[in-house]
Amino acid sequence: MLFCNIDLLDEKFALQRGQYVGVKDGRIAYIGETEPQEDYGERYDGRHRLLLSGFYNVHSHAPMTLLRGYAENLPLQRWLNERVFPFEDQLSDEAAYYATQLAIAEMLASGTVSFTDMYFFLDGMTKAILESKIKCNLSRGLTVFDDSDYEQTAAYRDNLRLLGEWNGAGDGRLIGDLCIHGEYTSTPKVVEAVAAQAKASGARMHIHLSETQTEHEECKQRHGMTPAAYMQAHGVFDVPTTAAHCVWLEGEDFEILRSHGVTVACCPASNLKLASGYANIPKLLDMGINVALGTDGAASNNNLNILQDLYLFGVVYKGYYRNSTLITPVQALYAATRAGALAQGREDSGLLRVGCRADLCVIDTDTPQFTPMTDAACNVVYAAQGADVKLTMVDGEVLYRDGAYTTIDIERVKAETQRCTDDIIRRLQRGERQHD
């Protein structure tokens, strides 16, 4: 495809007007003011359009679209124990398949090209991911509440497949990561075993870290150290790690993350909705820690439109720390794009640069909210709506365009997801009645 006469945000997020961008063999092959001689196939009319790097959503639980609106207005521990965990006990690969497709459809429609996910029912999930052609770093949520050895868990068997047959599938779009759900949902020996497997196999790690004050303080009581110190002590940070939330970091925690190159997946909407608190994003950025952006699952957000998290990321820390100079639009855009690609180990992605992967999105600027275009980066961070995205491309292939999907049967996916949720809720209600 050749994007013709299109405005773009370059790799420094500066506006360049009236450019030509050629895409070939999955990569950005040409960027310039003049039309290239070479034939790039379809010519895309770029008038009133803004081209930029697609977004990387580095913390999600895709099948939780099933739980959208099901677990509401509860503190996190009750939210998990009373609503989320019983619902998840009723899941199946079929439900996870449709719910993952639904999540991907929502992400593609708002410009997300790649996501980092943690969940289970991987047969259903991997099928949905590979069929859709979106990129994903997928890990198997691991929770252990008894004395089990890691090798006895169902997660261990899934992880062998993640590191084997699924790792690099779909021309490298699917990458298998390893996972510790969190300190409070695992045991030291299992944490060490997973960390050792990650080190031996070269896998990346995806964890929850210091999301709530309760979790953070209880870890200190249990182990005499913070969750960050605990993960470090058990070898988790010896491999590249994405740590979600990091709201309650304190003292040496920041230096632990910095010295190990840990990426912080900031999930502002989830942190606000579950009342977890405000991460110290300004300090993390000041220290040069890689901060990327996540939506978290649809049960705690309740949408997967990363532009909404981008907006919150851009404004809430200014308000919380009462300093309007914190977090510039460029820092926010970097977090939503390049920082996420680096967190996923995709070094050649997340930048609008010749030679990089053509993971792109196009925004309609012929709208009230984009007029006037005095500062395009500010418009994207503070004014854009998810529905302003008109095209999403992954590895040079258009997956979403003008409301239509090229790899997802959206009407079927919506209907099947609704059916799966209805079935689960009916079973839960029957179970409750039997219990009475």
Q: Which is nearer to Zn ion, 76 or 335 (CB)?
A: 76
> Helix 410-435 to helix 93-109 angle, to the nearest 10 degrees?
130
CB of 267 to Zn ion, least distance (A): 7
| Comparison of 339 and 362: residue with beta carbon closer to Zn ion | 339
Shortest spacing between CB 181 and Zn ion, in angstroms? 8
C-beta of 296 vs 416, nearer to Zn ion:
296
State the nearest-atom distance from the C-beta of 370 to Zn ion, in Å.
Answer: 32
CB of 209 to Zn ion, least distance (A): 10
Residue 296 vs 359, nearer CB to Zn ion:
296
Q: How far apart are CA 211 and CA 218, in angstroms?
A: 12
Phi/psi for 330 (5° steps) reads -65, -40
Nearer to Zn ion, 76 or 336 (CB): 76
Closest distance of CB 296 from Zn ion, Å: 5
Comparing C-alpha atoms, which of 55, 23, 56, 130 is closest to residue 397?
A: 23
For Zn ion, the closer of residues 6 and 335 by Cβ is 335
CB of 57 to Zn ion, least distance (A): 12
Phi, psi at 116, each rounded to 5°: -110, 115
Size of the site for Zn ion (CB under 5 A): 1
Sequence-ordered list of residues with C-beta below 8 angstroms from that of 131, at least 6 positions apart, any chain: 101, 407, 408
CA–CA distance, 73 with 24 (Å, rounded to integer)? 48
In whole angstroms, the minimum distance from the beta carbon of 272 to Zn ion comes to 14
Query: Measured from the CB of residue 244, what is the shortest distance to Zn ion in angstroms?
Result: 5
Cβ of residue 139: shortest distance to Zn ion, in angstroms? 11
- Taking Cα atoms as reference points, which of 363, 366, 364, 361 lies closest to residue 399? 361
Minimum CB separation of residue 46 from Zn ion in Å reads: 37
Closest CA to 177 of 58, 14, 72: 58
Footprint (CB under 5 A) of Zn ion, residues 271-310: 296
Nearer to Zn ion, 116 or 365 (CB): 116
| Residues 233-262 close enough to bind Zn ion by CB under 5 A | none
Residues contacting residue 368 through CB under 8 Å, at least 6 positions apart:
none
Subset of 353-392 contacting Zn ion (CB under 5 A): none
Residue in the shown chain whose Cβ atom is closest to Zn ion: 296
60 or 337: whose CB is closer to Zn ion?
Answer: 60
Which is closer to Zn ion, CB of 296 or CB of 395? Answer: 296
CB of 201 to Zn ion, least distance (A): 23
In the complex with Zn ion, which residue's Cβ is closer, 106 or 296? Answer: 296
User: Which x/- pattern over 197-226 shows residues binding Zn ion (rule: CB under 5 A)?
Assistant: ------------------------------
Nearer to Zn ion, 31 or 343 (CB): 343
Q: Where along the sequence are the contacts to Zn ion (CB under 5 A)?
A: 296
